[in-house]
C-alpha cells in the first residue's frame, strides 16, 4: 500500500487517569506492529511519557503555541501547526512542520507561502482535515491530483465524520494513493476508525495490504481498552458481531449492488481463531492488571465454538456465509 497510516488516538481520546507509561508504550508498539508508521501525540501524552519507544516516528500536535518549545526537547519527526497557531511568529526550531488546513477551504500556494513566513521550521507536509462530501473513486483521485499539483510537499488527509463519510473517504483516498491518511484507533465519533478501515479492506474489498496486520491490531485493541478505558464494546468485537449477521440488505453506494463479503466460512473461522489466539497470547505474555486479565480469560473460556457452528451452518436462514 502506497499510503502511510498515521494514528491520532493519543492526541484525541482521553487517557485513563494515572495510566502506567509502560502500558502506553506497549500500546504504541502494538500500533507499530499493526502497520502504523506515525503516532500523533499532544502535550498530555508527552508529559505522561518519560521515554517514547523507538518503534515508530512521532508527530507532535501543537494545540497551543506555548508548547512550541517542546519540539526542541523531543525528537519529533513533525509538528502539526494550524492556521489559528500563526497569529504570531512560531519558533519550532528546525522541526519539519505539518501545516493543517480545513478540508473545506483547501490549500493554495499563496497561503502556504504566508504560513511558511510565520514558522521557523520547513513546511514538509500539508494536511487537509475536515468533513468531506461523499465522492466517487474518480472524484477522490482528481482531488488528490489537484492537491499534489498545488503544493510540492506530500499530502495527508484526515477525514472527519460529521457527514458520516470518514471511513468511505479514507478508503477512497487510499485507493487514490494519497501520501498519508490520519485515522483514530478505537471507536471515535469524530474520525475514521483504523479498525473499520482495515476490516473493510479485508472483508469487503478482499485487499488487505501486507503491511497491515489484523492479529497485531487485535493486540492493539486490547491495550487500547486499558489505556483509554471505557465500558463499551471494543471496536473489533463490534465488527466481529456485525459480521455474524446477514448484511445482504446493505447497498454499495458506488455500484448500486448489494454488499457481498469476500470471505468464506474457512476464512471466518481463521479470523475468529486469530482473534482468540491473539488475546490468549496477549494475556499470557503481557503484564496487565489482574481484573482485566481475568475478564479476557473468562471471555475466551466461555467462547462456544459449537454454538458458532450451529448459528452459521445449521440455521435454516440463508446466512451470508452459507
Q: pLDDT higher for 322 or 134? A: 134
Non-local (6+) Cβ contacts of 294 within 8 A are none
Q: Where are the domains of the chain?
A: 4-314
Please say whether the structural domain 4-314 has been given the CATH code 3.20.20.70.
yes
Measured distance between the N- and C-terminal CA atoms of the chain, rounded to whole angstroms: 31
User: Cell numbers 440463508 correspond to what residue?
Assistant: 318
What distance in Å separates the CA atoms of residue 182 and residue 135, rounded to the nearest whole number?
A: 18
pTM: 0.76
What one-character DSSP code corresponds to residue 279? H
3-state secondary structure at position 137 = helix
What is the Cα–Cα distance from 229 to 223, expressed in whole angstroms?
9
Residue 73 grid cell = 526537547
CA-to-CA distance for 43 and 60, rounded, in angstroms? 8
Q: Bigger pLDDT: 247 or 288?
A: 288
Task: Report pLDDT digits (tens) over 16-50.
Answer: 888 999 999 999 999 999 999 999 999 999 989 98
pLDDT tens column, 171-215: 999 999 999 999 999 877 899 999 889 888 877 666 667 788 888
Lowest-pLDDT choice from 83-87, 162-166, 201-205: 201-205
Report d(CA 77, CA 45) in Å as an integer. Answer: 16
The CA-atom distances, in angstroms, between 265 and each of 198, 218, 271, 276 are 19, 20, 10, 17
Amino acid at each position: 500500500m502506497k499510503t502511510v497510516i498515521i494514528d491520532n488516538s493519543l492526541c484525541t481520546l482521553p487517557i485513563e487517569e494515572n495510566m502506567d507509561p509502560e502500558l502506553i508504550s506497549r500500546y504504541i508498539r502494538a500500533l507499530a506492529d499493526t502497520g502504523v508508521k506515525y503516532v500523533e501525540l499532544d502535550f498530555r501524552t508527552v508529559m505522561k511519557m518519560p521515554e517514547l519507544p523507538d518503534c515508530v516516528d512521532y508527530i507532535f500536535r501543537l494545540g497551543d503555541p506555548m508548547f512550541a518549545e517542546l519540539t526542541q526537547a523531543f525528537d519529533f519527526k513533525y509538528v502539526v501547526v494550524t492556521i489559528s497557531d500563526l497569529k504570531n511568529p512560531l519558533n519550532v526550531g528546525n522541526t519539519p512542520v505539518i501545516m493543517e488546513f480545513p478540508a473545506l477551504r483547501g490549500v493554495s500556494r499563496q497561503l502556504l507561502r504566508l504560513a511558511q513566513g510565520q514558522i521557523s521550521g520547513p513546511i514538509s507536509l500539508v494536511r487537509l482535515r475536515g468533513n468531506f462530501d461523499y465522492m466517487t473513486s474518480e472524484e477522490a483521485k482528481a482531488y488528490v491530483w489537484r492537491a499534489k499539483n498545488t503544493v510540492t510537499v506530500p499530502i495527508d488527509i484526515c477525514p472527519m465524520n460529521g457527514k458520516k463519510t470518514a471511513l468511505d473517504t479514507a478508503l477512497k483516498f487510499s485507493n487514490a494513493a494519497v501520501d498519508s491518511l490520519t485515522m483514530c484507533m478505537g471507536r471515535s465519533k469524530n474520525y475514521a476508525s483504523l479498525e473499520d478501515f482495515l476490516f473493510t479492506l479485508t472483508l469487503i474489498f478482499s485487499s488487505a495490504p501486507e503491511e497491515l496486520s489484523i492479529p497485531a491490531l487485535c493486540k492493539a485493541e486490547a491495550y487500547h481498552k486499558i489505556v483509554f478505558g471505557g465500558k463499551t464494546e471494543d471496536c473489533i468485537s463490534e465488527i466481529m458481531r456485525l459480521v455474524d449477521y446477514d448484511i445482504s440488505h446493505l447497498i454499495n453506494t458506488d455500484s448500486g449492488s448489494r454488499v457481498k463479503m469476500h470471505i468464506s466460512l474457512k476464512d471466518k473461522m481463521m479470523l475468529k481463531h486469530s482473534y482468540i489466539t491473539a488475546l490468549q497470547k496477549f494475556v499470557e505474555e503481557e503484564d496487565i492488571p489482574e481484573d482485566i486479565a481475568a475478564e479476557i480469560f473468562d471471555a475466551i473460556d466461555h467462547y462456544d465454538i459449537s454454538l458458532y457452528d450451529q448459528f452459521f451452518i445449521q440455521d435454516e436462514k440463508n446466512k451470508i456465509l452459507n
